[in-house]
Amino acid sequence: MSKAAKDEIVVMVTGAAGNLGSAVVAELTTNGAKIAAVERNFVSGARPRGRQETTQLELGGVDLNDLASCEDAVRQTIAKFGRIDALVNTVGGFQTGPVGEPGLEQWDQMFQLNARTAYIISTAVLRPMQDAGYGRIVHVAAAPGLKAGANQAAYAASKAAVIRLTEAIAAENRDRRISANCILPGTIDTPQNRAAMPNAKTDGWVHPSEIAKLISFLISPAAGIVTGAAIPATGRM
């Protein structure tokens, strides 16, 4: 039995102060996990909920576009808790616009924010997971990563890159007992989305806490048979 199965699971959560990240932190904390909460800019009132000195490590100022910064966050986590069992990467962004010369900047921004960050934080956590012979990685992608709509070229392509990255990590680490999966949420029910779409029908929107429960399963020892998957989480049934 792995150490993760016997002890409290140690999870690094990126974007820990965001809507989804804070829901993940709350869910995992309730389930007894130890959390390394990663956020570039922690601000007053936006810190992870359920914070406890002995079970949570707050890592501010981490640049997910910089490998050295991510590796330092990994070192601090291991110094605090002894290992990293799982990574939950919730960092990402959304922009839309048609294909054309003005969209080149958006293309670069989406790949930097969505794809590059996922690649770098995965790189940072994989070595200790490989050394331990155990790990769980979950990235948040999006349904347009499978099929783009109008004005979604940059966003969809960057999320497709996250899906392909996840598949490659799963294939490369299958024999090391490291799984990698990604979630494809529908519209997440957040204050920002409600403000942006005041006339939308929100009945089918997905609450961050519902996605957090799915993630909680995927990083558990029980989910070891699930790897390389892009799992839709597109609405209530």
Q: Are the beta carbons of 218 and 181 closer than 8 angstroms?
A: yes
**pLDDT tens over the chain, length 237 residues:** 344 444 689 999 999 999 899 999 999 999 999 999 999 876 534 444 444 556 899 999 999 999 999 999 999 999 999 999 999 999 998 888 999 888 899 999 999 999 999 999 999 999 999 999 999 999 999 999 999 999 999 999 999 999 999 999 999 999 999 999 999 987 765 656 666 666 666 566 688 889 999 999 999 999 999 999 999 998 765
Q: Give the model's pLDDT for residue 3.
A: 46
- Which CATH number is 3-233's, of 3.30.465.10, 3.30.43.10, 3.40.50.720, 3.30.565.10? 3.40.50.720
Rounded to whole angstroms, the Cα distance separating 164 from 56 reads 31
Q: What is the 3-state composition of the chain as percent helix, strand, coil, each rounded to the nearest 5?
A: 45, 15, 40
pLDDT of residue 101: 86
pTM attached to this predicted model: 0.90
